[in-house]
Structure 1
Amino acid sequence: MILLTNEHKPINLQYRNMRIAYSVAIVITILLGLASRKWSLLLLSFVAQNAGDILWAMMVYFGFRLLLVRKSTLTAISLSFFFSFGIEFSQLYQEDWINQIRGTTLGALILGKGFLAEDFVRYTVGIIIATVLDKMALKFTTRN
């Protein structure tokens, strides 16, 4: 039995399309984040200081939407806050083994290097922006 959505698309096709869209959003967000670091001198100081963390939190949100496409937006928002804030709090833990991981490029991009309270604001802004973009995209794609 194939269930149909309001647009008369099979549900599995709808979820596949959503996964593709979230995958594209993740790749674009990662590229923008890397570009914000590489060309930070070309950006306004405020943008250069904040863009990386905002984009990182957006990527986390899109990642949860990709993995949990059948779950609510609220679930992705909650998990994004929990994950992002958890990573930031983990930076208070400073032992040699984890600092060696943080010393690698990938480790620094994922785990960060040092605790900064202002990162909580950046993560919040990033998750809000990603949620708004997500809602706008869903509204646009489900219009008749």
Structure 2
Amino acid sequence: MARRRGRQERPASAPVRAPPAPSNLSVLSELNPSGPRSLHCDLALACAMSDHLMKVETLPQRGWTNFETAMDVVEGELGDGPYLFGDWFTAADVMIGSMFIWKRLWGAPPGRPKLEAYVDRLMARPHMKIFK
């Protein structure tokens, strides 16, 4: 196999299998309905969570949805899998899941069984030992 810049190239006969992304773009459009479809969903979720924790009404002109809607979207994206992309733990779980982890660390659990289980799975990962 050829090497390029220190990386081993994958032969053309070995396909890369990415996780299925059935509706992950809905997270982006639901959490940030007025913004572009990009990774701004993490910021939109953080803003929605901040409004919720500070008991501030989330007005449409602020550019993000309320936290209850955000939790509905994340629950929907979890589906029956352990992570947002099914069995694959991805950067999306780091970004989105961290908001729920921080909410729990601040003493306010998500209050929804599916999100509680999601946070438990994230907290059980090896890199999370620092919080225990």
Q: TM-score, normalised by structure 1?
A: 0.26
More helix by share: 1
Q: TM-score, normalised by structure 2?
A: 0.27
